Amino acid sequence: MNSRSILKALTTTEQILNKAFPTSWNPLYSLGALCFYMFWIVTVSGLYLFIFFQTSIDGAWQSMEYITEDQWYAGGIARSLHRYASDALVVFVTLHMIRELILKRFQGARTFSWVSGVPLLWLMFAAGIGGYWLVWDERAQYIAITTAEFFDWINISTEPLAFGFAHPETLSDRFFSLLIFLHIGVPLALLLGMFIHIMRVSDSKSNPAKGLAIGIGLALLALSIIWPAESLDQADLSRSITRLGFDWFYLNFYPLINRWGAGPVWLMLLAFTATLVLLPFVFEGDKEAVAEVDPDFCNGCGWCYADCPYDAIIMKDHDYKKGMRQAVVLGDQCVSCGICAGACPSATPFKTINLFHSGINLPDRKIRTLLDDTREKLFDLTGKEKIVIFGCDHGTRLDAFADDSTITISLPCIAQLPPSYIDFLVKREHIADVLLTGCAEDNCFHRTGNDLMEQRVNNLRNPHIKTAAVRQKTTMLWSGLSGEKEVAAKLAELRSEHRARESNQEDRVELSEESS
């Protein structure tokens, strides 16, 4: 299966979920936020369990039994939530990583987020596996011995760690004090790493939509009640383990340790980690030119700074205009989306054409070129009602919709389009309708492009469409990849409305002639 087929499969799955739920509830659009959500459920439930947990050899298992059996209505549910939310965290992290890989969101300015996410995988598994130790049942005994033998292979201590689990007498209560310390410290390190992971993403989404959060929370609660988490028999180092309830979420590589030995598994895990870290550098892709600021036309308004989804723009004192500010682009964080160019108030075609410049631009896809290309295509139209469809390179493919009355223009992001262009085209070029499309709702490739464009069109954000008449002729449809049917249906609807308007105008003319 090639990359295009994989992308199509992902898109199809997203569209199916969009039909089943509101787009803001689509879990594939909120995987990062769901990871945070699962972390908080694990944290809150874990704090409750900590109140009743005893850090001793006998007390660990007995306290977990008390929580599960005697306090089933509260502690038992909390323990099950703790378990299932931890498993769900693994699922969401895995899906999040795979989705970003399919969408190629690991290169260029996104390299920092991708690479900083790799250590979080190790911390997540360390926290989950450590949690199993605390129960100190037969599963914990198997994990403890296997993990000790696994680390003994790299000789991290002068005395083999496995010796600590050779006999019951070699294990002390201090061991559980150390475990509880690690089980608190590792998640705290994970939380810190999660915030570092999103550090270069402005307005990062760390909370899922309310409906999605409630739905998943209720599902976990129902699972906790119907199928509560339980302990196996208490660990006993004097006897061998005869049965084992396995957790394939956190213990998936443990059978490989038993089958292959520690060395090959260490090699596999380190090779996998190195592959993830090196991926952005091996597959760098085509480097697009980053946005450039023209100090002559930058008035320091800060609109580009406010709209940039990647914190790639900062403001400084102007190079030579006293008392004014000037935008500066951080090249290593710019992804060439063009959103900043669409936010610049100087990007307006209503100025004298020879003075048309913009304070910020993509050097290889300038705003002026966009206008020239649009007007050139409009000049070739022969149809009666002119329609312009603006889309983005990551959304619905638009080439098939071009005909004698329709032109299509694709941008790096739909938010690169300045609202003044819509004003200009409708007024000066007599455009009947402008259709704005791009990525699916709540799933913009550049995170906020759709939202910014909606706010600009609806006069909720600067720059915005100036007149209500132009706003009425502007339609937005966030169809996403493989959204050709939706675009075709909307285009047919607009043309049907045109015919209806023409018919009404002809009827009015006939009535006027009859009355005269």
Q: Could you write out the DSSP letters of every residue in 268-291? A: HHHHHHHHHHHHHHHS--PPPPPP
At position 71, the amino acid (one-letter code) is: Q
How many whole angstroms separate alpha carbon 45 and alpha carbon 41? 6
Element (H, E) at 329: strand 325-329
Residue pointed to by tokens 């003075």: 355
* Superfamily name and number for 24-237+251-282: Cytochrome Bc1 Complex; Chain C (1.20.810.10)
Closest CA to 142 of 53, 246, 57, 269: 246
Q: How many CB atoms lie within 10 A of CB 132?
A: 21
Instruction: State the pLDDT at residue 339.
Output: 96
Quote the pLDDT of residue 508.
56
Q: Are 29 and 23 in contact (CB under 8 A)?
A: yes
Q: Supply the pTM of this predicted model.
A: 0.86
What is the per-residue pLDDT for 354? 45
- CB of 477 closer than 8 Å to CB of 430: no
Which parts of 68-173 fold into alpha helices (H)? Answer: 77-102, 111-135, 138-152
Q: What span, in angstroms and rounded, lies between the C-alpha atoms of 365 and 411? A: 9
In this prediction, residue 356 carries a pLDDT of 60
Q: DSSP for 30-96?
A: SHHHHHHHHHHHHHHHHHHHHHH---SHHHHHHHHHIIIIITIIIIIHHHHHHHHHHHHHHHHHHHH
Mean pLDDT by 10 residues, the chain (516 residues): 78 87 90 96 96 90 94 95 97 96 88 95 96 91 89 75 63 84 95 92 84 96 95 85 79 92 96 96 78 92 93 92 92 92 88 69 90 90 89 92 93 95 88 92 89 95 91 92 90 86 60 56
How high is the pLDDT of residue 23? 85
Reduce the DSSP state of residue 82 to 3 states and report it. helix
Listed by start position, the domains of the chain span 24-237+251-282, 292-508
